[in-house]
């Protein structure tokens, strides 16, 4: 009886250890404005955070351009993190993406006002993303 219980316990521990080893252990990668024009390499299933400076109280926001091909899915809405509690304070706009397919694409963002469709963006950010 004790031998059977011990064998089941050991088998369970071995199975749990094997399943844990199969999980993705990669830390999420965060890129910022200083990473512009770089090539970023991810694995399928990895998480990418894009953190760009901005101030949405001015009407400006970062808008991602369509990818070709689509290798990254945006997860949720952008999060705005102000630099201070002051009304109108600038801060960071953080977007999260999940790598869903292998290949290479350009991840491009324009900082603009959504209603100013005939105006050039205030600034742009672009990286090349390779998903393996």
For the chain of 132 residues, list the mean pLDDT of each consecutive stretch of 10: 44 41 68 97 97 96 94 96 91 97 97 95 97 96
The answer, yes or no, to whether the previous bond of 69 is cis (omega within 30 of 0) is: yes
Strands 91-99, 39-42: parallel, antiparallel or unpaired by DSSP?
unpaired
State the greatest distance between any 2 C-alpha atoms of the chain, in Å, as a whole number: 79
Pick from 80, 96, 87, 81: nearest CA to 31: 96
Here the tokens at position 64 are: 């991602």
In this prediction, residue 26 carries a pLDDT of: 75
**Domains contained in the chain, CATH given:** 26-131 (2.60.40.2020)
In this prediction, residue 17 carries a pLDDT of: 43
In this prediction, residue 25 carries a pLDDT of: 55
In this prediction, residue 21 carries a pLDDT of: 38
Q: What is the pTM of this model?
A: 0.77
In this prediction, residue 22 carries a pLDDT of: 40
């Amino acid at each position: 009886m004790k031998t059977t219980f011990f064998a089941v316990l050991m088998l369970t521990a071995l199975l749990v250890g094997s399943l844990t080893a199969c999980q993705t252990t990669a830390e999420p990668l965060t890129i910022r404005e200083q990473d512009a024009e770089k090539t970023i390499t991810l694995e399928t299933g990895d998480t990418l955070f894009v953190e760009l400076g901005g101030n949405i109280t001015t009407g400006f926001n970062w808008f991602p351009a369509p990818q070709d091909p689509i290798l990254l899915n945006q997860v949720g809405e952008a999060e705005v993190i102000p630099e201070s509690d002051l009304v109108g304070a600038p801060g960071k706009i953080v977007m999260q993406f999940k790598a869903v397919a292998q290949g290479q694409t350009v991840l491009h963002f324009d900082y603009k006002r959504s209603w100013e469709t005939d105006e050039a963006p205030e600034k742009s950010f672009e990286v090349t993303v390779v998903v393996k």
